[in-house]
Chains A and B, each alone.
Chain A
Amino acid sequence: MKNPQYLKILFLVLSGVLGLLAGIEFWELRHYKETVVVSEDFTEKVMLSQYLPSLKNTWGDTPIYVYDSGVPGGSMLVLGGTHPYEPATSLATYVMMENIDVTSGKVYIIPHANMSASTLGMLGNAYIKYYHIETTWGQKKFRVGDRNTNPLDQWPDPFTYVHYPSTQNLAYQDIRNLNRTFPGRPDGTLTERISYAIMELIRNEDIDIFFDFHEASLMYPVVSTYVAHDRSMDISMMAAMMLSATQFPMKSEASPKNLRGLTHREVGDFSNTLAILMETPEAFIDRVVGRMSEELMLEGKDEFLQTAAEKGLVYCDYDIYEGFPDALGNMIIGTPMDYRVGRHLSGTLEALNWMNQFFPDKAISVTFPNYVDVMNNGSGHYLHDPSKADPSRVFQN
């Protein structure tokens, strides 16, 4: 039996309405801006396109916040949001940016290393679009992005991704994964160009130490770990041992030489910097978890993951009922956002401490809230009210 004409029109209109509603949601996330109130030590904001002009007016361009003490010393670059669906990384950079005090040396912070990827949720995973952090002056809203560059900005993916310059074959979708495209190339895909621009920043500004913040699923062996380039191994090993003894469990792994495209390998190989990647535990991205709610993102409590932990299938401490004690006596229940943010902050400070000891000529003197502060007061305590701040210190990302 043939469908009457009006039924076809009805379905066409219905599809259009559904597409419009979905489009509004996609548009909202793509254009939502996060606000940051930079600390008094902030000196300037530059765009990544300064290091590769072809990024200008693309979604690959992203702000770099510079804190120059004016006192001779080393330099540090911190990346948050290389994988935006690991949001403790950007939040940790915001806490750092709003509170950092630099007394010697120079600090560069990129809160959204892959800006394009932060404008889209994980397709097909029913992800939340935003999460909210309670502050002393109200709630602050942040984007939860994707792992890879938005297909609106780079598409289509090839059948096989051949990494440049190693020619190693990687999974096809990793051509949009910023942590598989380093060291990048100036005439490559958008993601390769972002990588190349970050490399140019590191080389041109002679960055001494480089941190790439990440979060990992608990069933991934490298969770709660520093992954360090050969030259950074001593720093990361000493920092991991000190953190484990005094604050929280931390491991250290050497960057494999035969897995290409990752920051801890390529940034170290293609520049003089000391490259370190850090992973915190993020239950939200484990494959076995139940409903992917904002609560799961912020608290990290999941009964299916608990079962996996009880069967010895996770690679870090995890208990959603009793919790586990850190070295300071806090009971960590699930994988709360403050725990993850604090880990990145203290992970950076401890590594800096060891860099200063091993390489006194590169010494940097900085302070910002650490694990103890964030665990005691919450991340939101360190985020300032933009409406009461000096407008020259308020920026949007």
Chain B
Amino acid sequence: MRKVLILVLLSMLLFTTGLFAVVSGDPVVEGQLPFLLTNAGQGPGGKMARLLIWQSGAIEDTDFDYNAEPLKEDPNDLTAREYKMLFVIIGSSAKGLGASGITIDEEIARLNKMIEEAKKLNMFIIAAHIEGKARRGNPGSADEQSIDAIAPYADYLIVMKEGNIDGKFTRIAEEKDIPLTLIDNTIDFMQVIKLMFPAE
């Protein structure tokens, strides 16, 4: 039972203080509000990020909106508010694509349109890959297509180290001169949010 207690305490510490959170690579950029949070590839990452943003307590719930599929039905999704940033969580899921009833090709077409629109609107684009190798795949897979559709066009990259094991995100960052911040675990994304939006 002592081990259980230690584990629970460790988990609580990790969650409540971010004591063990490791954030490395380029410095975290300053966040701008409001922003639109979304995902690329129909994975659950967008919802995970939304949950971690809520749990971080760094910003108010009303400081950002979550939209799983901007521009799918409404062409004004990116202009619904004066969004300063487009925060895209990358990661594909067969269950997610199946649930949406779309193919990865249709998803990529929507993502291309979304990036083009965001660029026109001068939105600051953040691409985050926070679920590690679970959301990486072989060349041409839904995960890799989703990364290729978003990451090279981003202004800032946040990546879980395990998902960058082949250096793909490092290469994109170097080729496109994009700052890249690395996190050890998905849960450390919460620490990045706290650094992006420090308490005043």
Contacts of B98 in A (CB 8 A): 256, 258-259
Residues of chain A from 209 to 247 with CB closer than 8 A to chain B in the complex:
221-222, 227, 233-234, 237-238, 240-242, 244-247
A62 interface residue (CB < 8 Å to B): no
B62 interface residue (CB < 8 Å to A): no
B11 interface residue (CB < 8 Å to A): yes
Contacts of A246 in B (CB 8 A): 7, 10-11, 14
In the bound complex, do residue B186 and residue A244 qualify as a contact, i.e. CB atoms below 8 Å apart? yes
CA distance A312 to B166 in the complex (A): 13
Contacts of B131 in A (CB 8 A): 251
A369-390 to B contact mask, C-beta < 8 Å, 1/0: 0101100100000000000000
CA distance A249 to B160 in the complex (A): 13
> Chain A CB within 10 Å — which of B20, B94, B96 has the most?
B94
| Majority secondary structure of chain B interface residues (helix, strand, loop or mixed) | helix
Tell me which of B45-53, B74-82, B110-118, B148-156 binds A: B45-53
Contacts of A257 in B (CB 8 A): 99
A75 interface residue (CB < 8 Å to B): no
Given A252-B44, A373-B4, the answer on whether A242 and B99 have CB atoms closer than 8 Å is: no
Contacts of A367 in B (CB 8 A): 1, 4
In the bound complex, do residue A253 and residue B93 qualify as a contact, i.e. CB atoms below 8 Å apart? yes
A254 interface residue (CB < 8 Å to B): yes
In the bound complex, do residue A237 and residue B15 qualify as a contact, i.e. CB atoms below 8 Å apart? no
In the bound complex, do residue A254 and residue B11 qualify as a contact, i.e. CB atoms below 8 Å apart? no
Given A251-B131, A370-B4, the answer on whether A245 and B14 have CB atoms closer than 8 Å is: yes
A54 interface residue (CB < 8 Å to B): no
Please give me the residue from chain A that is nearest to B130 by CB atom: A241
Contacts of A252 in B (CB 8 A): 44, 48
Residues of chain A from 351 to 379 with CB closer than 8 A to chain B in the complex:
353, 367, 370, 372-373, 376
CA distance A350 to B187 in the complex (A): 14
Contacts of B188 in A (CB 8 A): 245
A7-47 to B contact mask, C-beta < 8 Å, 1/0: 00000000000000000000000000000000000000000
Please give me the residue from chain B that is nearest to A256 by CB atom: B99
Residues of chain B from 121 to 139 with CB closer than 8 A to chain A in the complex:
131-132, 134, 137-138
Given A258-B99, A367-B4, the answer on whether A241 and B48 have CB atoms closer than 8 Å is: yes
CA distance A306 to B187 in the complex (A): 30
In the bound complex, do residue B4 and residue A242 qualify as a contact, i.e. CB atoms below 8 Å apart? no
CA distance A237 to B93 in the complex (A): 14
User: Within the complex, what minimum Cβ distance (angstroms) separates A225 from chain B?
Assistant: 9
B3 interface residue (CB < 8 Å to A): yes
CA distance A258 to B100 in the complex (A): 9
Given A221-B94, A254-B96, A373-B3, the answer on whether A242 and B11 have CB atoms closer than 8 Å is: yes
Please give me the residue from chain B that is nearest to A220 by CB atom: B94
B119 interface residue (CB < 8 Å to A): no
In the bound complex, do residue A256 and residue B4 qualify as a contact, i.e. CB atoms below 8 Å apart? no
Task: Say which residue of B51, B96, B99 sits within 8 Å of A238 (CB atoms).
Answer: B51
Contacts of A372 in B (CB 8 A): 3-4, 7
Residues of chain A from 181 to 214 with CB closer than 8 A to chain B in the complex:
none
Please give me the residue from chain B that is nearest to A252 by CB atom: B44
In the bound complex, do residue A242 and residue B44 qualify as a contact, i.e. CB atoms below 8 Å apart? no
Contacts of A259 in B (CB 8 A): 98
Please give me the residue from chain B that is nearest to A225 by CB atom: B134
Please give me the residue from chain B that is nearest to A223 by CB atom: B134
B176 interface residue (CB < 8 Å to A): no
Contacts of B55 in A (CB 8 A): 238
Please give me the residue from chain B that is nearest to A233 by CB atom: B47
Given A253-B93, A253-B95, A353-B11, the answer on whether A312 and B137 have CB atoms closer than 8 Å is: yes
Contacts of A255 in B (CB 8 A): 95
Contacts of B132 in A (CB 8 A): 244, 249
Given A242-B187, A244-B186, A253-B44, the answer on whether A312 and B138 have CB atoms closer than 8 Å is: yes
Residues of chain B from 5 to 48 with CB closer than 8 A to chain A in the complex:
7-8, 10-11, 14-15, 20, 44, 47-48
In the bound complex, do residue A237 and residue B44 qualify as a contact, i.e. CB atoms below 8 Å apart? yes
Given A246-B11, A251-B134, A253-B93, the answer on whether A237 and B48 have CB atoms closer than 8 Å is: yes
In the bound complex, do residue B99 and residue A254 qualify as a contact, i.e. CB atoms below 8 Å apart? yes
Contacts of A245 in B (CB 8 A): 14, 20, 184-188
8 residue pairs A–B, Cβ–Cβ below 8 Å: A242-B15, A246-B14, A251-B134, A254-B96, A258-B101, A259-B98, A353-B8, A367-B4
18 additional A-B residue pairs with CB within 8 Å, beyond A227-B95, A233-B44 = A221-B94, A237-B47, A237-B48, A238-B51, A238-B55, A242-B14, A242-B187, A245-B14, A245-B184, A246-B10, A246-B14, A247-B7, A252-B44, A254-B44, A258-B101, A367-B1, A367-B4, A370-B3
Residues in chain A within 8 A of chain B (CB atoms): 221-222, 227, 233-234, 237-238, 240-242, 244-247, 249, 251-259, 312, 315, 350, 353, 367, 370, 372-373, 376
